[in-house]
Amino acid sequence: MEKLIKGIQRMETEKISSTSDKPARPFLPKGGLAIRYTRFFILAFLIVFSIAFYYTFSYTRAILDEDALQRASNITDLTIARISNVIRPVEQVPSTLSTALESDKPDYGMIADLAKEFVLEDTVVFGSAMAFEPYMHDKKHYRYCPYVFETGDTVIERDLSSAEYDYFKQDWYRIPKLTGQPVWSEPYYDKGGGDTLMCTYSVPFFRQKAHERVFAGVITMDISLETFMHILKSARVYETGFSYLMSRKGIMIAHPHTEYINKDIRKIIVGESDKATDSVINLMLQGKRMFVKMRDLTHVQVPSWLYTAPVPHTNWIFAITFPTRELYSGLYEFFRKLAVIFVISLLAMILLTILITRRLVSPISRLVDATRRIGQGDFGTELPSYRSKDEISQLTNAFSHMKGELVHYISNLEEATAAREKIEGELSVAHDIQMGLLPKHFPKRDDWDLAALLDPARAVGGDLYDFYFLDDDHLFIAIGDVSGKGVPASLFMVSARTLFRSRISLGVPLNQSVYEINKEICRENPNQMFVTFIAGILDLKNSCLTYCNAGHNPPFLVKPTGKTMKFSDVHGIPLGIFEHATYSSGTVLFSPGDAFFMYTDGVTEALNSEDDFYGEERMLEIVGLNADLCPSELMHKLESDVIGFMKGVDQADDITLLILRSKQMPGQETKATEMKQIRLLNKLGELNRLVANLEQLAEEWEIPAKVSMELNLILEELFTNIVFYAFDDGRDHEILLTYTRPSENSVQVQIEDEGKKFNLLEKDTSNTVNHPVEERQIGGLGIHFVKKLVNEIRYERRDGKNIVILIRNY
Amino acid sequence: MELIEKKTEKCVIIGINGRLDTINYSILEKRLTELLDQNVTKILINCSQMDYVSSSGLRILLMALKRITMVKGKFVLCSLQENIREIFEISGFTTIFEIHPNEEDALGVF
């Protein structure tokens, strides 16, 4: 054993050297744990980071929005304050002047000087005019309108009271006159006055005339809009954000893009007007303070924020606007950097995961390699050692144990296989020998034909059949089935066959021979095996088969018509069971064309894939349908039907058949059909044979049951009479019964014995019946029955024989 | 052949199952002798399952009848099959034996 293992190991070492230069393991084996874990981690990482990313982004944006609102609001407040600072003195001075002009005798020179001084000093005020109602200044002038304005560092005075200019019709004069209130004009380009874009603040002044306040004229202050441009320039947010100032009517007062000044805001906004924009503009012009998102930056179509608020005292609106993306540009920048960090860390994580997993998995991979080599039969492969005590280590230990077991198992298996191969070789020889023992060919004869086959389920079987001629007129036939299968059964079978061959002889009655054989088998049967058996001796001349069935399946007689007759009688228990078992025998009378059919249970118990038995019924059907065939054809027909039935299912038991057939010869038919013979010994036990034989005959000749029973009664009486009284020597004697059919409805039986003379007709049986019980003789009753139950009875004493002839009609 | 024996308050019932012939009549003989030796005097033989009877069988029945009659007991047969009944008639036994068509009737006489 050890040698064998070493041998295996040596072989394996050679194999290793041939397999060691195979390609290295891929860095990431497809479907390996590394890829799977990495995939899993990436997914988890992506989910977690996406959530965090989204949350941070939203939160930051909200903060930025809040911050932008704050900034815009602050800038707006600041800018509005600055604008107010510019405007307040512009509004105060004219009011002061108008008060001076409303006195009874105004000092025009002083007023004009004041105005001049103001125009010169104030940076915003560009010019100032005093326009009077007709003849309100003096009686000479219809129009009077002195105007001072700044050019460079000097102030120039000019009169605007030309008929062409006609200041009465100008807005700056007309509107205060109508409303009686100071008013800021819309921006306009003054051609006659300052020749520049300006806004004019007009304050009306009045005179007291006969207790009535009468409109006397207007004092104006022209301001240059350029001042506001400077203010707005500093009111900026973000990159391209800007602010603008417009009147309540939507006319631009100040705008970083000068071309828009004096234009309506609705015309500035490019693209199609939409409801959202319109409503925002309306709200703006109503003077609402608000922070809204617009689709337009007033001149380019960029989504933007707008903060707007009214300028107090004036009718002006201040607005500051900036593109949304600039508000978020920092945010976007931040997230761009974040994304880069994210990608880098993701890559790092993937790499780490792969490295860690590979590190974790590598012992498994090494184990897999080793196991694969072991699987290929390389038992010399060392399993990788692994120091820690985790699951992988346990797995390695389990594999190591398995390897040991495997080596052990395989060496056992190889031994067993070698042994089995040897046995199988021997079995094949045994099979040939066993088959060689079986007689194959029945000599060609005119009167009898025989065929037999044995299909063993394994190499050797426990079934047997045999046939050989005892002399010219006697043929021995046998079939048997040893309990169990295989070699023991086949050896037992061979020994049984040998015993039969040596013990059967014509001088000894068959049942006696079987008795002796059984005794012999029992004597040397340590394994308590047994064999069911039918042995028969055919008297070729008389067409009479004497047979003994020792616990075997019942044989059949197959008539040429297809009718089958079963011989259910068993003449003893199977051979080899009980040393003192006794055996009787039966008789079969052949008519020409009759076939005697014997089989083993391998036929009827053949199984198909549905676990159904082939069965006696199907067997008899096939046999009956092919009754006209010769034995060997019939046999092969049945064999192929059984094989067809099994449909490839392994044969479970030996299949054995033996068919003996009396050939039909012309002219012989009638005679043989009408006559049957049976030879009985002068033993009480032979009564069973007599009865069985009579039952067979009754069935064959279709004798009614009642008649058959009465014949039985008669023959039993006559037979027992002979057994009890005919012989004194205690030896075996033969009693011959011959049945014939004188007509369709009658049976004739002739009983011959070599015993003492006994004429039953001379026996007086008259007192047997009609006496009272007390006086009745016991005995004689049987003879009485015989006489009563037959139609005709004859007695002869011939050649030292008693011959009784009975005829029974029905 | 098989014997099926039943004891009732009134009598012993023996059922004969199968063939009663020269080979096996001694079984019935032995049993009946035992019963008679034990002073059983009331016996009913149920023949419903008896397919065949030979003269040897009849002899045993006759023997039993004689011995029971001597001690003033009762030996009755019942349920004979048609064929068997004919044998009984031929042998004249119908006049000697008390025979009833079924077991119930037969039990009535004890």
Positive or negative CA dihedral for A188, A191, A195, A200? negative
Which of A713, A775, A789 is best to mutate for the B interface (most B CBs within 10 A)? Answer: A713
CB A182 within 8 A of CB A203: yes
Q: What whole-number distance in Å separates Cα of residue A750 and Cα of residue A674?
A: 13
Instruction: Give the model confidence (pLDDT) of A90-139 as tens digits.
Output: 888 888 888 888 877 778 888 888 888 888 887 778 888 888 888 888 88
Decide if A781 and B55 are in contact by the 8 Å CB cutoff.
Answer: yes
- Is ipTM > 0.85 here? no
Average pLDDT over residues A309-328: 84
CA B64 to centroid of chain Cα atoms? 8
Burial of residue B16 (number of CB atoms within 10 Å: 0-12, 13-18, 19+): buried
Residue A552: the pLDDT is: 92
Query: In the predicted model, is pLDDT for residue A304 greater than 80?
Result: yes
Q: Do B54 and A782 touch (CB under 8 A)?
A: yes
pLDDT at A667 exceeding the cut of 80 = no
Q: Do B55 and A717 touch (CB under 8 A)?
A: yes
Q: What is the mean pLDDT of residues A632-654?
A: 87
A266 close to A281: Cβ distance less than 8 angstroms: yes
Chain CA centroid to CA A579, Å: 64
pLDDT at A536: 94
Asked whether the beta carbons of A222 and A149 are under 8 A apart, the reply is: yes
What is the average pLDDT score of chain A? 82
Which of A10-24, A481-495, A654-668 is least confident?
A: A10-24
Residue B90 domain flag: no
Q: Which percentage of chain A shows pLDDT scores above 90? A: 10
Q: What is the mean pLDDT of the segment spanning B49-72?
A: 88
Q: Which residue has the tokens 């945010």?
A: A331
Q: What is the mean pLDDT of residues A599-613?
A: 87
Q: Where are the beta strands (DSSP E) in chain B?
A: 2-7, 12-20, 42-46, 50-53, 74-78, 98-100
Q: How many CB atoms lie within 10 A of CB A241?
A: 22
Asked if A490 contacts A461 with a C-beta cutoff of 8 angstroms, the reply is yes
The sign of the dihedral angle between the CA atoms of A266, A269, A271, A276 is: negative
Alpha helices in A647-704 (DSSP H): 669-674, 687-701
Contacts of B58 in chain A (CB under 8 A): 781
Cβ of B81: how many Cβ atoms within 10 Å? Answer: 16
Report the C-alpha gap between A532 and B4 in whole angstroms.
32
State the DSSP code for A167.
G
Reading phi first (left if > 0) and then psi (alpha if -120 to 50, else beta), residue A318 is in: beta
Q: What is the DSSP string of A531-551?
A: EEEEEEEEETTTTEEEEEEES
Is position B89 within any domain?
no
Task: Report whether A38 contacts A350 (CB < 8 A).
Answer: yes
pLDDT at A466: 92
pLDDT of A160-179, one tens digit each?
887 788 888 888 888 888 88
What residues of B are in the A interface, CB distance below 8 Å? 21-23, 51-52, 54-56, 58-59, 62-63, 65-66, 69, 83, 86-87, 90-92, 96
Q: What is the pLDDT of residue A4?
A: 46
In the block, which residue shows the tokens 């930051």?
Answer: A60
What pLDDT band is residue A475 in, cutting at 50, 70 and 90? Answer: very high
> Would you state the CATH architecture of domain A65-325?
2-Layer Sandwich (3.30)
Does residue B12 fall inside a structural domain? no
Number of domains in chain B: 1
The answer to the question of residue B9 being in a domain is: no
Window from A338-347, A774-783, B51-60 with minimum mean pLDDT: A774-783
DSSP state of B41: -
For residue A725, what pLDDT band results from cuts at 50, 70 and 90? confident
Q: Which residues of A are less than 8 Å from B69 in CB distance?
A: 773-774
Is the pLDDT score of A298 beyond 70?
A: no
Taking residue A219's Cβ as centre, other Cβ atoms within 10 Å add up to 25
Query: Residue A256 to residues A150, A337, A683: CA-CA distances in angstroms?
Result: 24, 35, 152
Domain coordinates of chain A in residue numbers?
A: 2-40+363-419, 65-325, 438-665, 684-809
**d(C-alpha A325, C-alpha A329), whole Å:** 6
Q: Report the pLDDT averaged over residues B27-31.
A: 91
Task: Note the pLDDT of residue A665.
Answer: 63
Closest CA to A604 of A570, A641, A571: A641
Rounded percentage of chain B residues whose pLDDT exceeds 90: 34
Q: Looking at CA atoms only, how far is residue A762 from chain B in angstroms? A: 19
The pLDDT value recorded for residue A401 is: 86
Give the residue on B whose Cα is nearest the Cα of A709.
Answer: B52
Range of the domain at B51: 30-71
Average pLDDT score over residue span A156-160: 83
Average pLDDT of span A293-319: 79
Beta-carbon separation of A713 and B65 below 8 A: no
Could you report the per-residue pLDDT of A583-605, keeping only the tens digit for each? 988 888 888 888 999 999 888 88
Q: Which of B23, B58, B90 sits opposite A687 (nearest CB)?
A: B23
Helix crossing, B55-70 with A705-725: angle to 10°? 80
pLDDT band per the 50, 70, 90 thresholds, residue A577: confident
When pLDDT is averaged across residues B83-99 and rounded to a whole number, the result is 85
A684-809 classified as CATH 3.30.565.10: yes
Q: How far is CA A588 from CA A543, A558, A594, A595, A676, in A?
A: 8, 12, 10, 11, 9
Three-class HEC string of A712-778: HHHHHHHHHHHHHHCCCCCCCCEEEEEEECCCCCEEEEEEEECCCCCCHHHCCCHHHCCCCHHHCCC
By the 8 A CB rule, do A696 and A750 touch?
no
Give the confidence band of A535 by pLDDT, cuts at 50, 70, 90: very high
How many other C-beta atoms can be found within 10 angstroms of the C-beta atom of residue A511? 25
Contacts of A685 in chain B (CB under 8 A): 23
Question: CA-nearest residue of chain A to B54?
Answer: A713
Tell me, what DSSP letter sits at residue B75?
Answer: E
Confidence of residue A2 (pLDDT cuts 50, 70, 90): very low
Please give the structure tokens belonging to residue A442. Answer: 């029945």
Distance from CA of A809 to the nearest CA of B (A): 17
Q: Is pLDDT above 90 for A467?
A: yes
| CB spacing of A785 vs B87 below 8 angstroms | yes
Q: What percent of chain A stands above pLDDT 70?
A: 91
Q: Token match 């059909």: residue? A: A673
> Does A707 contact chain B (CB < 8 Å)?
no
H helices of A306-390, where?
A: 324-375
- Give strand pairing partners of A561: none
CA–centroid distance for A475 within its chain: 67
Q: Which residues sit opposite A476 in a β-bridge?
A: A468, A537
* pLDDT tens readout for residues A199-235: 888 889 888 777 788 888 898 888 888 778 888 888 7
**Model confidence pLDDT, tens digit, residues A380-408:** 777 777 777 778 788 888 888 888 888 88
Average pLDDT over every residue of A292-311: 77
Residue A11: pLDDT band with limits 50, 70, 90: very low
Contact assignment for B58 to A713 by CB distance below 8 Å: no
The answer, for A712 touching chain B at a CB cutoff of 8 Å, is yes
Which region holds residue A334: left if phi is over 0, alpha if psi is between -120 and 50, else beta?
Answer: alpha
Residue A625 and residue A611: Cα distance in Å, rounded? 25
- In this prediction, residue A265 carries a pLDDT of 82
- Torsion sign across C-alpha atoms B8, B14, B15, B17: positive
State pLDDT tens for residues A743-761. Answer: 778 899 999 998 888 887 7
The tens digit of pLDDT for each residue in A675-720 reads 788 888 888 888 888 888 888 888 888 888 888 988 998 898 889 8
Across A1-5, A253-257, A626-630, least confident range = A1-5
* Sign of the CA dihedral running A98, A101, A103, A104: negative
Does some domain include residue B78?
A: no
Nearest chain B residue to A688 by CA distance is B23
Residue A669 has pLDDT above 50, yes or no: no
Give the architecture (CATH level 2) of A438-665: 4-Layer Sandwich (3.60)
Q: Which residue would you say has higher pLDDT here, A248 or A151?
A: A248
A784/B91 touch (CB, cutoff 8 Å), yes or no: yes
- Closest Cα in chain B, distance from residue A773 (Å): 7
Q: How far apart are CA B89 and CA B34, in angstroms?
A: 28
Contacts of B87 in chain A (CB under 8 A): 710, 713, 785
A785 to B66: CB separation less than 8 angstroms, yes or no: no
**B61: in domain:** yes
Neighbouring-strand partners of residue B99:
B77
The helix/strand/coil state of A183 is: strand
pLDDT at A8: 47
On whether the CB atoms of residues A559 and A625 are closer than 8 A, the answer is no
Instruction: Check if the beta carbon of residue A130 is closer than 8 Å to that of residue A109.
Output: no
Confidence of residue A20 (pLDDT cuts 50, 70, 90): very low
Q: With beta carbons under 8 A apart, name residues in chain B contacting A782.
A: 54-56
Model confidence at A766, in pLDDT bands (50, 70, 90)? low
